[in-house]
Structure 1
């Protein structure tokens, strides 16, 4: 006898990983104008949290050409902070930077050689970032099986088959019901073979 079962499938993460996407803007703007532009069109000025991101942002520059990034400080004695308020845990200062002899240089640009503190009113090209969006979709699917579909190995195999049929960078996971199972028996209407959902 075949048993008709229902299950819920959760979490399709669409559109790639959650890493940020950097966008180079050739427009020349002050740091504050660049920040406003990035916040309006994207997420914010670039926040750099590790060397891979630094390399990516620096790839937009040629040699000594500098671009604004989202690092700044309110004055020469305040700590460096990112425009999006991310923690300042990584740095890649150029030689002899930041410049302790120029206290009014409170905004940061970067190039192939590292980060340089500059006057915020200087007009430079800049790099924005756009945060990836996590999209969650819940699917309700019916399956017929002679096996115990709540068995971990069976659930794994079913999930792999569905994953193979999907395109793009999608991550799937099961949603457990309150009883701990993924699959639930479908209630059959005794008066009819047809059921409504």
Structure 2
């Protein structure tokens, strides 16, 4: 929204143009082709928009992929922080209540496991292990289990997402019983150990890594223009394009116009004509969201009349 205030005086008119744009509540991504390090790209985005891109759902992941499509791989707002947290794959955030088996998790299969549910509770194991699958979130049934399926955690999660579902998020012990009774064997759940965080501190835990990534468990995340817009990690010091999120931030622009008039502009039809001409100029520049108003500043003109030297900006004769 542009607010324009015209200060009218008898001989001099001043126009103040205030650009005020509020950030959109819906996802809004902006691709920048200039190459910067991750930290410099974040600083740029925080000045122009709100931050580097954050992804909270698969719909937003696809929108991000479309934004970068046909351009080039680009930074997003996810970076390695080192602190390990158990998160849910559906984006709902960190683990709040747990149902681990006794002495679990024990990290016997390495420092970056995923979780399965057994009849009695959860167990951590390597994400590359094959397990049966149950998807959660269907329109007609809360759970779906394909027959004779055994797969890795990442492939299992992607299979569920291809159905518009995800791996189960467990909120009660009764869910564990329901899931186990549906398949009568150990199955993956949506719990995984993560050491990454979003620049804007969003709690969303949605991740859309390429298969086998992040491999180095460090760096900053990049959206790829290939592989369906999945992500991979790169050293944060590398320079590459980036994607910001949020609308353009407010800007204030001051424009001064000098006008010669034989009458009082505040009481003259010239004021209405001036506003019409200014409106036409703004619209010709593609600016459509603005308001125009006229405000008198007779006192300033009286001061100039009493002391004409006050208006001079150059040296005297």
Query: Which residue number in structure 1 is paired with residue 233 of structure 2?
Result: 117
Q: Could you tell me whether the CA contact under 8 Å between 1:18 and 1:131 is conserved in 2?
A: no
Q: Could you tell me whether the CA contact under 8 Å between 2:36 and 2:240 is conserved in 1?
A: yes
Distance 1:29 1:93, change over 3 A: same
CA offsets 1:141-162 (integer angstroms, 9 cap, x no match): xxxxxxxxxxxxxxxxxxxxxx
Q: Could you tell me whether the CA contact under 8 Å between 2:24 and 2:247 is conserved in 1?
A: no
Counterparts of 1:1-197 in structure 2, within 5 Å, are 18-62=25-69, 65-75=72-82, 79-99=195-215, 102-103=216-217, 105-111=218-224, 112-113=226-227, 114-130=230-246
Q: Could you tell me whether the CA contact under 8 Å between 1:58 and 1:110 is conserved in 2?
A: yes
Distance (Å, rounded) in 1 between the aligned partners of 2:41 and 2:82: 19
Distance (Å, rounded) in 2 between the aligned partners of 1:98 and 1:37: 25
Distance (Å, rounded) in 2 between the aligned partners of 1:110 and 1:42: 19
Shift of 1:74: 2.4
Distance 1:16 1:84, change over 3 A: closer
Instruction: Tell me which moved more, 64-73 or 39-48.
Output: 64-73
Distance (Å, rounded) in 1 between the aligned partners of 2:69 and 2:27: 22
- SS for the counterpart of 1:80 is strand
Query: Which residue number in structure 2 is paired with residue 155 of structure 1?
Result: none
Q: What runs of 5+ residues in structure 2 fail to find an aligned partner?
A: 1-20, 85-193, 250-317
Shift of 1:44: 0.2
Distance (Å, rounded) in 1 between the aligned partners of 2:24 and 2:38: 29
Larger radius of gyration: 2
Distance 1:123 1:88, change over 3 A: same
Supply the RMSD in Å over aligned alpha carbons.
Answer: 2.9
Q: What runs of 5+ residues in structure 1 fail to find an aligned partner?
A: 1-13, 134-197
Shift of 1:17: 6.3
Distance (Å, rounded) in 2 between the aligned partners of 1:127 and 1:17: 16
Distance 1:87 1:24, change over 3 A: same
Shift of 1:106: 1.9
Shift of 1:131: 5.3
Which structure: greater helix fraction? 2
Shift of 1:132: 9.1
Under a length normalisation based on structure 1, what TM-score does the superposition of the two structures give? 0.52
CA offsets 1:25-72 (integer angstroms, 9 cap, x no match): 111011111001000111000001111111111123347931100001
